Structures are given as structure tokens and as C-alpha cells.
Structure 1
């Protein structure tokens, strides 16, 4: 069930109670968690925080803590699965769910109160009506041989009784046939309605924005909280989770809050916000350019790399022409942005805007937020997103997944600037790995057409292949590879074809990660691969694991990959 008032029906309910907080492994979830931690400290709410990566982690985390808690809050997880069926909780346990994954499971939507959804449905979600998907299970068989009054039957002839009974049985048989037919028609309609509802996966409002609005209603909002909400909303844009129009509307809403808080802090010199300034203005769609060299940033940004085809010698020549036309010497473009000549640094954005049309970079500018505190600390929201991605996906022998989660959580604190700076350095290496892999894939023509879709397989043993064993990094690689392929392809169909990408996951287990993304031509990032993967795996009996909350990502045995792709081709043809 959906709850209307977050303050009354959620926050006031958990105050004074022990809470289990289950947080998904993504940036929006971490930002929402950071806002909640601040609120919980203000009101002394006792909670247990457990980061989770999939449905298996969700079940394990709940079973380990089920005896201690009666209230569970799930951030960006659980909304698109039947929670009661999956976790089998006691009747008095209440689950609060804030999840941006869509579509929401209908059992959660129509829960009698054990599952309470904090997000609000939008008109385009098309949630099926209750009567279309649920009905009371009634016995189809009527009781035979109802007792009749002996006094009424005494005068009846035995032949009349036999005829009456025969006619009654015929009527009951006809009614039973009609009921079975009606039930079959209803079940077919139910399957069709549920398929239409669940065939596309997509994303709703950022959970960090939702939690900031809760803090605002509680009169506990400040500059740090609005910044964390901004980072969560920016992640959705960078990873292509929402369309550009959605981000424009959301950023306008956040800008109103930034203006209000800036006005309050200037009038009320709050010590906590002194020296903190958030600005909303035009910015360049270049990755980490304030912390990198201009040349490297332009080269490793997906948008500029695909427009200028920077993986080729001709593209590099075009980049040099662009820099020359901007009046930016190569010596200056190859040193760190902060060390560039002051005049060139100040004029960099306007210089690039002037030549953007000539080089096909019409969307190089977008509206973004910048946080500044102190004299030298200046970070764009996108910079923080890339840093957190690199920290979050830096799992390996040295660090556990939980440690990476906590690093990403800590880098949001202004007092932990060193962690953020380290994350930015890791993000540079990650973007370099992605660019090299795209360049290799194009040079070796590894992006192949299967007919209804394109596919790319990253083979075991490829340098830096371990970088892509995580869904977020693989998603960035898939988007870059698809756009780069479309940029050089002579086929008119290329912009209308989706991409399926595979990367090694666990060498010992012999598993790989499979991920699908929609075509470049699609404005709306709705993804149909979740259902398609399920059907292809079922058809071929492939050893697949659907553990991620994003249904367009799955694990598969490498041996089954060939027959799985064949089934997927047949299914989508």
C-alpha cells in the first residue's frame, strides 16, 4: 500500500523503535541513507545498517536480524519483488519501501499494511486494478446431495425424485462448465495484464530527493542534505536511468530548495552552513575536467568521444583543431585544469560553447550544481557521482564490498575530503579503462549484430576485464560502446538496435555478467530485456541467476552463453 504522509505514517511510526535499514549498492541509495542517518541522529533512532547487492543478500540480511526488529526500511530494493513471499516475515513485521525501480510489484501495491510504499505512483505507471489480478479462491464444486425435509418428500413418487435429481445434476454441471470457462478467461486476461505491466523496467524519482523532502517537512533540512539529494538525482542522469526532461524538472525543484536555504543561511548565519555555497548554473558535459587535464577529460567523456570519434587518428586530429580554435595551446590543455593560465581557465567554458556547433557538440552544456566550501574545495555534482562509482565498484582482494560501500558513504562528508579526492583519482582510471575497451572493441569489430540486437562479449583474460564485473561499470561501458558503434556504423538500423553486453564475473565459478540496454534512438530509457532474459533462459534451461534488482542484468554460466544468445535472437526476431 502507498502511504500519503511521510512524516505521520512513516517517520513518526519508527521513532522510538529499532529499525533495520537495508540499502542497495548504488549512489542514489547511499545519498538517501546519508540523509536518513542525519535525521536518525537528530531523533536518536536506533538502527542497523546493512548494504545489499541483490535478492540473496536481502534474504540473508533479513534472516540474520529478523528476531531483533519489527520495522524494516528498504532503500532502492524490494519494491519490484513480492516482499512477503520472498522473506516470509511474521505478521507483525512492517516493511517500509522507498525504491526507484519500476514497475512496483502488485502484491506490494495491494498489501494490507505489512508492506508500505513511501514513493507515490505516477499516472504513466499503469498499475492494474485489484479485481483484474486478484480474486477469491472459491470451490468450484457445489456440495452434492443437499439434505431435504423428509416430510416434504414423503408424498413424492420415486421416479419424480430421480428425474428431479438428474435435472439438478445437469444444471450444476452446466454451471460448473461456465465457471471453469469464466475462470480460464480471467486467468488469461490476468496473465496478459501482468505481462503488459511488467514487460518494461525503468526508474522513478530519486530516493535521495524523497528523503530530502522528508527532512524538509521535518524542518531539519540544510545545505549538506540538499547536496546529497542533488548527487543522487545527478547519478540518474549520468547512468541514463531517466530521460533528460525528468532531470530538468527535478533540478528545477532542487534549485528552489537551494535558493530557500541560501536565503535562510544568509539571514541566519548558521554555523553549520558557514562557508558552504551551492550554485546552479550552466556547466560543461565533461567528466572530471576541473580535476583532470582538458585533453584527457574531452577524450574520456562519452559524449565528446563519440561526437568527435576520438578513438581514431582522425578524431585526435579533430580534437587538436578544436583546441586550437578555442585558443587553448596543447601545453595548457595537457596540464591539470587548476594549473592552467587563469585567463584561459576563466574563458574555457565560453570558448568551448562558441565552437560547439561547428564540431557537432550542441549539447555540451547542461544545467548542474556546484558545491564550494573553503578556498580550494569546489566539486560539481557529476564529479562526486564518478568518484562514488569508482569507490563503490573498487571491490577486490584488498577491500570487501561493505568497506567500499562505507568509503562511498564517507566521501559525501565534507570532513572526508581525502576519500573524495582518492575516489576522483580512481574514477579517472576507470574512465580510461572504459575508453581503452571501447577502442579495442571497435578496432577488432567486436560489436556484432545478431539481427534484432547488437552484442559485445568481453573475453576472459582481457586486460582490466575485472573492472566490468560490476553492473554500474558494465552499464557505462555498454552505453559508450553502443554510441561509439552507432557513430561509425554505416547501417541505418544501428540507432534502432539495443545492445547486450557480456563480461567475465567469476573465473572459478565459470560465470559471466549479462546486461542489456535500449537503443540510442529511444528517448525513454525503458528496458525490455528483463522479461526477454527470463524467457530465453527458461526456454534453453540456461543456468541463470536473476539476483539483481535491476532486471536487465543477470548472471549466467559462460558455457550457456551461446544457446542463450540464440534463444534471445529467436525471441526478439
Structure 2
């Protein structure tokens, strides 16, 4: 079943009433551990539960296999389970093997688990069994189901009704040719009038046509591809609003969670973020007055921000050079592009020496004039979106950090944890050699240590949300990781290793100094977005991207499919082509699954992001060829 935002308060009251205990924990929260939005949402929820003195357990998980195994191991006393950032796309009753015990009369007399499962997940499509076919699964709707899935709800109910009719017909061995059973005839053999309220009888052909119509609608829904609807953190903030528990700290977490979607799902960010900026103005007024000029000041402010990478924590030059936005617009991966950036700085009246000073040491006059200087060159260089608004949080007198910078720091921590800047990613390798026995069968199941590493990284990100020192460490790691992205992406362009296939672009990373970094889906996604945006600006073609990165220690490729980054011609100037952040769907999840089955490839498809898959090294060529020829990925 599903509940709309107007019922969120009632949902929380139910959870509170059934989770209160002085002796045991009755509430377990499973969280996608490679998802900053889910991370922020879990912190919001934990803050709320702690304020209500509700015992709970936070369990970060990497994929569906781990989710199922840990769910099955739960104590019977657990009355409530919450899933944040995962779970919405599978039939959870079937996946968790939740069954009813039914007596001879057909009545439910017990269940193998009495608990309820609450799902808050932005991934789409929903599994409709969760929405319309279960009382044990409660999905928190962002407000779109009643607007967008009315026909699907009717089709789902219609199929159930038609299935019941079919079952009834098969069960009536004494049915007459006129469609009425012997019970519908009187003792003299005269046919009574049909009973009041009886469903009009339909022919077998009519029933089959109705079934086909409903089935086609639902198949079309699932085949449309994956997308993202609403931030999990914003759903949690809506819950807080419904019970009157909003705060500056939780609003900040919501802003960071929403900001984390900007790179991959810009349509979601652009829809939600203005509402959060309005909330900053509403909720922050009293705390600003109370904490003004205080060492404990943690207020939020809406300020001018820039599409420059970690500007407040780097030099202007490095920030521009490693900006994904400027890289795409100016082609900074080329010598000409870098020369263009140098000329732009000169037009702004900023020398190279001044631009390479750390932002904190840069002359105050230059910092104050940066906005006007950029405004003077935006039009001529096609960088109209380099200036934007952002939300900044103060941490006393120590430092101020923007939501965008916080996202970069958290991403780095989720990618690398609190390891040294060198990022010794071999912490999670199995350290096997190619001579090991059963190497082939073990390669695809190498993930246990890697997943433990990622779970540990989740807790680094969790701690950073409350500890500015850990967050600052994350900022330093973010610089290193972005340098690796730019370095690797530039090498792919320079060596012409980004191939244009029939319906998508393809890049395969087999070597290089940064190969270990791209074992992580977050890092590979960051690189994929960088490549895709640069390709769109370079050749003005809107195509999906497949990016594969080798893990030589396990002989597997991590393969990621990214939906097309749109280009759009301006109505008033046919020559002006700009990035369009409209919602796009990603069809790689179902395509990966189907191609792997068709060619019998040895793969592992377990991530909550369905467009990520692990493929054995020997099977990659066949897998990519099958994907190219399948016709499953369209423009």
C-alpha cells in the first residue's frame, strides 16, 4: 500500500507506538550505503527517533542480496523495518519470503512475520505489488502516485479481478452453456432472474482482450526505464513538517541530500531546491538572531555560489580547471580549451599568479569582485550558468561550507573512507592470484570484503555530518578524486577511446594510475557524468553512455550505463545549443539483465542502481556486442 504526504504524521505515530520499548530494539532501518541522499535521510530519521527516545538500529547495506540475508536474520521481535533509498523496485513480500498461514476456510490465521515494512525510495519505477497489492508494505509516496499512476492502479486491480474470474470459471465444473451454474436454476429447471449486483458475464474473448490491455499498460510502465522522482531526505523533511519537528540541522541535511542529486538527476534538484531555499528564509530567522556573531553559530544563509569545484577550499585556478561545468563548456581537456581559460582570466583582470593563490589568501577585493568579473565574460564564453545561488552553513568562527562542497566531501568519504590521500583501495581486494583454484567461479563473488569497506565508508560519512574536522578531511580527498576524474577523462579523449556505437557511446578503462579508484560505483558515476557532459558539448549529440572499468585483482569489469544528457536548441537562436536538464529515463538496467541472460554471461547485478553491473573480464566483449545489437537502448 502507499500513503500520501498528508498521512505521514499518522505513519510516524504508528511507528512510534509499535517501536517503543524499554527492553529491546523493535525498529531496524536499512540504508543504501552508497547514496548521500539516503545517508542524510537516515541522519534526519535517527535525530527524530533519538528525540522521541525510540530505540532503533541503523544498518547500511550495499545491494539486494545483503538486504535479503540481513532481513531474514532479524529477530522476531522486530516490529518495524524501514528501507531508505532502496526496496521500492522489487516485490518485497516475495523477495523477503513473507507468507500468510491460511486455514482450511481460506482465512489468514497467522503470518510468518507480523511486522510492517516502510519504504522511502526515490528510484522509479515502483514495484506495483508494493503499492497496490500488500498491506504489510507501506510506501511513502511523494505525492505523485494519485496523479501519475491512476490508470496503472486500475489495471492492477483489473488483472486481479480477471484472474479471480478465471479461477472461478475453472473451478465450476458444473457450469451450464448459458453461463449460469445449477445453483442459479430453480427446482423446476426454470431459470431465475440474475442475482442483484451480479457482474455482467463476458465472453472468453472479451476477458482476454481486457487482460491484454491491462497487461500491456503495466509492461509499458516497467519497460520505460529507470528514473528518480524525489529525494529521500526531502520526504523525511516533509514528515518532520507534518509533526512540527523541523530544525536548522535537519533542513541542512535535507539540502545536502537534495544537492547530491544535481549531477545525475538535475531535474529533481531544480524542482525541489527552490522550495528548500524558501524554507531557509522561514526557519532560519530566529536562530540567526540568537546565534549571530557567536562561536556556536550554525545558521544557514542563501548566497551567491559558483559552478566551480570547491572554490572556497582551493585556488580559483584549480577550481576552474577541475570544474565539470567549465570543462564541458570550454573543452578544458584540450590545449586550446586551457588557453581559452587563461585568456578568460586575463579578460577578467586576474593574473595567473593571483588565480593560483588559495582562495582563503586571495585579495579580498578580488573575491568580492569575482561575480561581476564573471558576469563580464559569461556571454562571450557560453558559461551563463557559472553563477548560481547556494546555501552555506556556518560552523562557528571556524569555517563556512556550502551544500555543494559538503556533497563533494561526503562523496569522497563514501568512495575512499578515511584512508590516506593515496587511497590504498587494496583494503578490499581479495589478494588472490590468477593461479588460485576455482578462480573463475570466485571472481564474480569477490564482493564481501569490498562491501565491508563501503559500509565502513558509510560510517565515515555519517560521522562527517556532525564533525567538521572529518568533513574537512573529506574536502581534501575530494580534490584528489576530482583530479583523478579529470586526468582519466582527459586521457580517454586524447587517446580517442570514447567510441560512438549505434545507439550509445562506449568507454573502457583498462589501465592507468587511477584504475583502482573506479572500482567504486560512486567514482565511476562521477567520471561517467564528466565524460557525458563533455561529449554533449563537444559534438552536440544526445546519446547514452556505457563506461566500464577493469578490476585486475578480480578479473571483472564494473559497467555503468548513463542515460542520455540532453541538448536543446534555443527557439530564438538555432545556433545556440544549451544543456537541457529535463528528466531522462535510463533503460540500461533491464537491458543489462536481458543481454546477460541471452548470451549466458557471468555477471553480478545486485546494486540498488539497476544500471550498474559487474561482468567477468572474459565476457565483456560478448556482453557489449550483445548490448549494441539488442535494440534495447534507444536514443
Shorter-normalised TM-score: what interval?
0.7 to 0.9
Say if 1:568 and 1:322 are closer, same or farther in 2 by CA, change over 3 A. Answer: same
Alignment of 1:123-202 (within 5 A): 123-124=147-148, 128=152, 129=154, 130-135=156-161, 136-137=163-164, 138=167, 140-141=169-170, 142-143=172-173, 179=204, 181=205, 184-198=208-222, 199-202=224-227
Q: For residue 544 of structure 1, report the CA deviation from its aligned partner.
A: 2.7
Aligned pair partner of 1:6 in 5, 8, 28: 8
Q: Distance in 2 between matches of 1:112 and 1:294?
A: 54
Shift of 1:458: 1.1
CA distance in 1, matches of 2:57, 2:377: 53
Q: Which residue of structure 2 lines up, in the alignment, with residue 444 of structure 1?
A: 495
Counterpart for residue 420 of structure 2: none
Q: Which residue is 1:21 aligned to?
A: 29
CA RMSD after TM alignment? 2.8
Alignment correspondent of 1:434: 485
- Aligned to 2:528, which of 478, 494, 500? 478
Residue 509 of structure 1 deviates from its aligned partner by 5.1
What is the rounded CA distance, in whole Å, between the counterparts of 2:8 and 2:554 in structure 1?
46
Q: Which runs of 5+ in 2 are unaligned?
A: 99-111, 188-200, 418-424, 429-452, 568-579
Distance 1:292 1:316 in 2: 18
Asked if structure 2 preserves the Cα contact closer than 8 Å seen for 1:505 and 1:513, the reply is: no
Structure 1 stretches of 5 or more lacking a match? 154-174
Q: Which residue of 2 aligns with 1:423?
A: 474
State yes or no: 1:75 paired with 2:70.
Answer: no
Contact 1:222 1:273 in 2 (8 A): no
Aligned pair 1:502/2:532, yes or no? no
Q: Deviations over 1:308-357 (max 9, x none)?
A: 11112111111111111111111121121111111112212221122111
Question: Match for 2:231 among 206, 214, 233?
Answer: 206
Q: Secondary structure at the match of 1:457?
A: strand
Q: What does residue 107 of structure 2 align with?
A: none
Alignment CA distance shift 1:568-1:187 (3 Å): farther
Aligned equivalent of 1:108, options 123, 130, 133: 130
- Distance in 1 of aligned mates of 2:151 and 2:600: 31
- How many angstroms apart in 1 are the aligned matches of 2:294 and 2:241? 16
Q: Secondary structure at the match of 1:65?
A: coil
Residue by residue, what CA displacement relative to the aligned partner does 1:70-117 show, whole Å, maximum 9, x if unpaired?
210000110111111111133412001111111111000013320001
Find the residue that maps to 2:460 and give its secondary structure. Answer: helix
Q: 1 CA distance for matches of 2:241 and 2:134?
A: 29
Query: In the aligned structure 1, how far is the partner of 2:182 from the partner of 2:241?
Result: 70
Q: Does 1:541 align with 2:600?
A: yes
1:254-311 Cα shifts (integer Å, max 9, x gaps)? 1232222222325666999951221113311111011011111111111101111111
Measure how far apart 1:242 and its partner are: 3.7
Q: Distance in 1 between matches of 2:127 and 2:353?
A: 56
The aligned counterpart of 2:572 is none
Conserved in 2, the CA contact under 8 Å of 1:20 and 1:48?
Answer: yes
Alignment-derived partner of residue 232 in structure 1: 257
2:484, 2:151 → 1: CA distance? 41
Residue 563 of structure 2 is matched in structure 1 by 517
Q: CA 1:108–1:323 in 2, change beyond 3 Å: closer, same or farther? A: same
Between the two proteins, the alignment pairs up a number of residues equal to 540
Task: Tell me, in whole angstroms, the C-alpha distance in 2 between the residues paired with 1:363 and 1:125.
Answer: 35
2:87 pairs with 1:87: no
Closer, same or farther in 2 for the Cα pair 1:294/1:78, shift >3 Å? same
Q: Which moved more, 1:316-325 or 1:522-531?
A: 522-531
Cα distance, 1:131–1:222 mapped onto 2, change above 3 Å:
closer
SS of the equivalent of 2:284 reads helix
**2:55 paired residue number:** 46
The answer for the alignment partner of 1:557 in structure 2 is 616
Does 1:407 find its partner at 2:433? no
What SS does structure 1 have at the residue aligned with 2:141? coil
Q: CA deviation at 1:221?
A: 2.0
The alpha-carbon deviation at position 182 of structure 1 amounts to 5.2
Q: Determine which of 306, 310, 329 is the counterpart of 2:351.
A: 329
Residue 458 (1) aligns with residue 509 (2): yes
Q: Tell me the alpha carbon deviations over residues 488-531 of structure 1, each in whole angstroms, 9 at most, x when there is no partner.
A: 33xxxx52221111112473253433323323336323212222
> Hey, what's the Cα distance between the residues in 1 that align with 2:10 and 2:69?
30
Once the two structures are TM-superposed, the CA of residue 476 in structure 1 deviates from its matched residue by 1.6
Q: Which moved further from structure 2: 300-309 or 217-226?
A: 217-226
Q: Is the 8 A contact 1:387 1:424 kept in 2?
A: yes
Instruction: Measure the CA separation in 1 of the matches of 2:472 and 2:221.
Output: 43
